[in-house]
Amino acid sequence: MIQFANFLISSPDVNACPNSTLPEFAFIGRSNVGKSSLINMLCHNPKLAKTSQKPGKTLLINHFAVQSTFAESVNGTSVNRTSSWHLVDLPGYGFAQTSLKQREQLRKMIERYCLLREQLTNLFVLVDCRLAPQKIDLDFMEWLGENGIPFSIVFTKADKVGKGRLSENIGAYKLKLQEVWEELPPIFVTSADTAYGKEELMNYIEQILVSIQ
């Protein structure tokens, strides 16, 4: 469970990111996928990451300092462990209403962070569960795989679609991914409005933190 999360810094390039050895869990997705809302839900703070009715508002690499506490079994006894890490809000990709120059700048910013940021522990790629598989998402995931960048898929807005359609859309994504991937990355289903999937996602982050400490 996250105890607190505070905004740390916005950076225009990976070279300007915090000089820190803390593990980083980054969130990215197409514009209007609900990234800021999901981050705010995970951190119990509706005003932490700026949300907007206009997509494409995140134009910098935003770092948040996070401290979370979770239970761990030590010699058969449950003890609480506290971990410090960074949550990173990356710009969305594929926003058509920006100029070609700005889209190219954002692409380079995202790629440089993913390739050069040694502290990046896991990248959560957000996908709108209401949509059929989108080429831009699939291409980005393929690029991550080609470059050995660890990532997971987070389907957002699960409360906006019926269970049958949700299962159908996720199944379609899995089939498309299996055309390229021998083993699928971890997949999560979430809703920022109902907090569905929050516990599963946080447990996954905590498992990673335990494995690297």
pLDDT tens-digit readout, 171-198: 999 999 999 899 999 999 999 999 999 9
pLDDT digits (tens, 9 = 90+) for 86-126: 999 999 887 656 678 888 888 999 999 999 999 999 999 99
Could you tell me the two tokens for 125? 């790629």
Tell me the per-residue pLDDT of 115-149, one tens digit each, with 9 for 90 and over. Answer: 999 999 999 999 999 999 999 999 999 999 999 99
Question: Contact at 8 Å (CB) between 101 and 4?
Answer: no
Phi, psi of 135 (to 5 degrees): -55, -40
Class of the CATH domain delimited by 2-212: alpha beta
User: What are the angstrom distances between the C-alpha of 82 and each of 38, 79, 147, 201, 210?
Assistant: 22, 10, 32, 17, 10
Report pLDDT for 95: 61
Q: How confident is the model at residue 2 (pLDDT cuts 50, 70, 90)?
A: confident
pLDDT tens for each residue of 48-66: 987 655 555 578 999 999 9
What is the domain partition of the chain in residue ranges? 2-212
The identity of residue 88, as a single letter, is V
Q: Which of 67-81, 122-136, 193-207 has the lowest mean pLDDT?
A: 67-81
And the tokens for 95?
Answer: 């926003």
What's residue 102's pLDDT? 82
CA 42 → CA 17, 46, 61, 199, distances in Å?
A: 22, 10, 18, 9
The pTM of the full predicted model, rounded to 2 decimals, is 0.93
Asked if residue 29 has pLDDT above 90, the reply is yes
